[in-house]
Amino acid sequence: MEAERGVSSQDRDSNGRLVHPFLQPALKYPRHRVDDPRTSSGKVFTDNCMTSDAFFYGANQDADGKNRGEVQGTLVLDLCAWDTHALATMVLAIMAEEVSGYKVSINKGGAGVDITERMSSVGTGMCTPIHLNVEVWTSSTLSDLRVYFNESYQVGGVGYFGLSGVYTTHQFVQDGMKATPPYFPDFWKHYKTSEALIDALNVVSFKSTSKYYPPVETTCADGIMGSKDNCERTEACTQYESNGKTCLVLALMVPDYDQGYFQAVFDNLDVPAYFCFIAYDGVNQFAADAAKSSDPVFFYHYEPDLFHVTNKGKFDRVALPRTDLERVKLATGDYGENGFGAKTSNPVDVDYPSLALSKFAASVVKDLPIGSLFSKLTLSDTDINALLSEYSIAMSRTDPEPYFRAACNWVKTNYDTWRDWHDRLLIPMCSFDNHIVSHVTGCDINSTIHEVQFAWKAPNPGNLSLPNNCDGGVAALPDTIATSRSCEWIEANQRTWSGWIDKKPECDSSFYDYNVSDCDSDAYRTGFSRLELPLRDIIIFIAWYGADFPEPTITTEEASEVRGTVDKISCSSSSFIFTALLIFWKTILLVLGLYLSFLIRNVSVDFQESPWIFGSVVVVLVGCVLVMPMSYLVTMRAATYYVFLACTLLICTMVIMGLMLAPKLFRLKEVVKPAQIQETSTNNCSSSAN
């Protein structure tokens, strides 16, 4: 079905809700129930409570039928004997059980005029209670159905229209037109005035054919609706026979099919006729044989029905007086109330109308989800004909359940029709807090690794990985979280670890563990030479002074203050190489200093530099206190003064550099150690929140 329509049952909208919530596998579990006090009684649908021709198929009934199945809490559908009713009921049963989630039971049997009584809490409603009937022909029974409308209601039309009537063969119509004098079997008046037509359909010939009469089973017992030997008679026939003539016969099915309607019409039109009940199969066989042998036939039937699908073009409907809804409403559903062959008090005398077949439901389901589904269920004439065609195919293949097979095949190919019958469940979007629960494993076995596992609070009984009371939002359960955190920490910090569902945590020192091995002669140690940096300067100076000691040089220049010349003495080497070497080395130190500044950016914000800055200020102050008095208060030789000044400046500079850099270097070393541990534990941290 998905491939044919180019859609997927898992398609979701922008909110994560299923686009096709009903395009899912058939439900294997109940989602709803019908709480009806009548079905809670242990006496319903028992042998003592049901008629011999009634059947009950309870939910979960075993295949061999040894038990009646479940009835309490189930949705009970009323099933009648004709094909369209059975097919529409099977479609409803599939929708109710496999899509909506009701347990379905089926009651088969009972008179059509008692439908609403079976939906009530009295009479047959206490023995064979039902909830829904998908197809009711109300033309002659509506007055009886209204009696119990306080506990039932008319839902609306099923969609397709019903048309009952009387039929004859197309060949018989053609033969009548050629007769002398001609008669017209497709028009009602000739059944009243043409003796040739009446004689062609005489009741004596019919009753002498044992293949059709009497029926195998009594369909209308004597006294029921004025019947005698499975037949009824009009008043005109009584008078006709009193004159030594023979009446015609109209083959009927069972008394409760359009109960009393056509009998009353022919009686009120003064047509001399018998009405003989030979059941549905008997009428079909009688008519089909007549069409095959070109014999005259006059019978009751209705549309839509499989008979007209398989015998298309062979039969014509007889025109009765034009239907009038005001006259149709006068039908009482009675006939023979005054006795066999006596005039009826049922006043209807017009043709059967094209009837919008009705759906009836018990009031107990009106506000349930099935009530909404039932009100929207609509099958067009095209749909019911398609179902009849599927049924014909299933019958030809000798399928053990042809009604169900036909309905199932129709459902598979008509998703666009039945999807609109269902209301989307009024359920919220799924959220982690409201619809998902977590469970920690490993706490009871003292495991170092604990797992946080997730499940739906209300899982779908058919698939535990799916929710049953929400749609959209969080579409799937989170993956299991493995962690070395304690169970107490997990319990107390749900808000913290719940964030790990979407993003794994960054590893810090709290995630790691370490062991320090014993110190011995083979253990690795880290050494650092504090004399390494000034030692390189000393080496350069020693090499410089040893290879090219600066010699004094006298330079004579014009004096600017007095007249004459001045001799200037300076010491310099003959080569610039050692000076350039010192500059290169200082450049290297500058670059290292910049790199060191880059590294110490990682020093934690809790590192306090204030004491070291204060110490540096004190050093500057001490240097100033030493230099200023020596410069202005003490008289020293120039060489001695410059040596003192240079040493003071160098020492203060080195102390300040030490105060500013040494604490940060030690702090940086502390930061680097966890970073090295992190590098060795990256795989564990990225795969689980340890």
- Mean pLDDT of the region 454-469: 80
Alpha-carbon gap, residue 18 to 39, rounded angstroms: 35
**What mean pLDDT value characterizes the chain?**
83
- Phi first, then psi, for residue 483 (nearest 5°) are -150, 155
Distances (CA, A) of 57 to 47, 214, 361: 13, 31, 19
Alpha-carbon gap, residue 409 to 25, rounded angstroms: 15
Report the candidate in 164, 190, 168, 188 with the shortest Cα–Cα distance to residue 314: 168
Close Cβ partners of 94 (under 8 Å, ≥ 6 residues apart)? 407, 408, 411
pLDDT at 682: 44
pLDDT at 686: 40
Close Cβ partners of 570 (under 8 Å, ≥ 6 residues apart)? 552, 553, 555
pLDDT at 687: 41
Question: How far, rounded to the nearest angstrom, does the alpha carbon of residue 593 sit from its chain's CA centroid?
Answer: 66
Burial class (CB in 10 A: 0-12, 13-18, 19+), 411: buried
Report the candidate in 168, 423, 211 with the shortest Cα–Cα distance to residue 320: 168
Domain boundaries, the chain: 2-160+358-421, 162-353, 432-511, 532-680
565: which 2 tokens? 């010349």
Above 50 in pLDDT, residue 528? no
pTM of the model: 0.61
| CATH class of this structure's domain 162-353 | alpha beta
Task: Tell me which DSSP letter residue 507 carries.
Answer: P
Above 60 in pLDDT, residue 683? no
| CATH T-level assignment (fold) for domain 2-160+358-421 | D-Maltodextrin-Binding Protein; domain 2 (3.40.190)
365 in Cβ contact with 131 (< 8 Å):
yes
Fold matches, 2-160+358-421 and 162-353: yes
pLDDT tens for residues 264-281? 999 999 999 999 999 999
Residue 615, SS3 per DSSP: helix
Above 80 in pLDDT, residue 384? yes
- Mean pLDDT of the region 531-555: 74
The three-point CA angle 217-220-221 to 5° equals 90
224 in Cβ contact with 256 (< 8 Å):
no
Alpha-carbon gap, residue 560 to 564, rounded angstroms: 9
At residue 529 the predicted structure's pLDDT band, cuts being 50, 70 and 90, is very low
552 in Cβ contact with 569 (< 8 Å):
yes
88 in Cβ contact with 98 (< 8 Å):
no
53 in Cβ contact with 82 (< 8 Å):
no
What's the chain's Rg over C-alpha atoms? Answer: 53
112 in Cβ contact with 141 (< 8 Å):
yes
At residue 534 the predicted structure's pLDDT band, cuts being 50, 70 and 90, is low
pLDDT at 55: 86
375: which 2 tokens? 């009100």
- Mean pLDDT of the region 376-381: 92
Above 80 in pLDDT, residue 495? no
Alpha-carbon gap, residue 49 to 240, rounded angstroms: 44
pLDDT at 182: 93
pLDDT tens for residues 57-110? 888 887 776 778 888 999 999 998 889 999 999 999 999 999 888 999 999 887
How many residues make up the chain in this entry? Answer: 690
Report the candidate in 161, 463, 172 with the shortest Cα–Cα distance to residue 291: 172
Above 60 in pLDDT, residue 677? no
At residue 363 the predicted structure's pLDDT band, cuts being 50, 70 and 90, is very high
pLDDT at 235: 95
Above 70 in pLDDT, residue 262? yes
Sheet holding 481-483, edge to edge: 436-441, 450-456, 481-483
DSSP code per residue over 443-506: GGGT-SSEEEEEEESSEETTEEEEESS--SBS-SPPPPEEE-S-HHHHHH-HHHHHGGGTSPPP
Q: 445 or 356, which is more confident?
A: 356
pLDDT at 668: 66
Close Cβ partners of 552 (under 8 Å, ≥ 6 residues apart)? 569, 570, 571
